[in-house]
Amino acid sequence: MKQYLSILKQMPLFASSDEDAIVNIIQCLDGHTKKFDKNQIIYDYFDKINFAGILLDGEIRVLMQNSCGNEYSVRKIIKGSLFGEAYACVSSECSAIQVVAQKESTILFLKFSNLFLPRAVCCPHASRVTANLLQETAKNNIFQNQKLRILTQKHIRDKIIVYLYSLNSSKNTITLAFNRQELANYLGVERSALSRELCRKNEGLIDFHKNNLTIL
């Protein structure tokens, strides 16, 4: 675990916590690490999720299915990111997502329900993590609202524009976290329809090459 402390110290979840405090918190939350092979499922649909995850190494994707059974990418998880925290806090709910390793990955699992135990109330380290977790949950809620705004747009062009605004980038050229198929899944459109729209160059508004998008 010591080799990953530099990653954990940079996470908002452990803000204002030194290394000793982080180690103490991990122990209190029954923390343990596990390695996953490429394409191995970490959380599956309808699972009861008792432990949130922190990606220490590798890359994973969060997937969802629509009513027709088609799967689309909801979120790309990068190293040092937290996932599954909402389900871990309310472990009675069945998972509506699937989390899959895109490459060999190492994950730290934490039992957030321990934060609600009486002993945690008196622990300053646990209280700090609880406050940080609340902030992270609020940020994730904002992200989900942005995603909902994208999905409610009627036209593909509008979906693209809203997505670009949500990136909040000051640069003209943006490197997207998605390839074209993944971007289509994220926007909730067919890949062929998205490709046609991008090939139109949106009437001189944007230019798209591989996963680089330039606002003209």
Buried b / exposed e across 90-126, counting CB within 10 Å, b at 16+?
eeeeeeebbbbbeeebbbbbbbbbbbeeeebeebebb
Q: Write out pLDDT tens, residues 174-189.
A: 777 777 888 888 888 8
Structurally, at CATH architecture level, domain 2-149 sits in: Sandwich (2.60)
Q: Report whether pLDDT(105) > 80.
A: yes
Domain boundaries, the chain: 2-149, 153-215
Q: For residue 160, what are its two tokens?
A: 């693209």
For residues 7-21, average pLDDT: 92
Give the pLDDT of residue 53. Answer: 96
25-61: pLDDT as tens digits: 999 999 999 999 999 999 999 999 999 999 999 999 9
Question: φ, ψ for residue 214 (rounded to 5)?
Answer: -115, 125
Q: Are residues 104 and 72 in contact, defined by beta-carbon separation less than 8 angstroms?
A: no
Mean pLDDT of 114-131: 86
CA angle 35, 41, 42 (to 5 degrees): 60
User: What are the CA-CA distances from residue 15 to residues 10, 87, 136, 148, 200 (Å)?
Assistant: 7, 22, 11, 29, 45
CATH class as words, domain 153-215: mainly alpha
pTM, rounded to two decimals: 0.75
Distance of CA 32 to the CA centre of its chain: 20
Give the list of residues 6+ apart from residue 146 with CB closer than 8 angstroms, or none: 162, 166
Beta bridge partners of 60: 77, 101
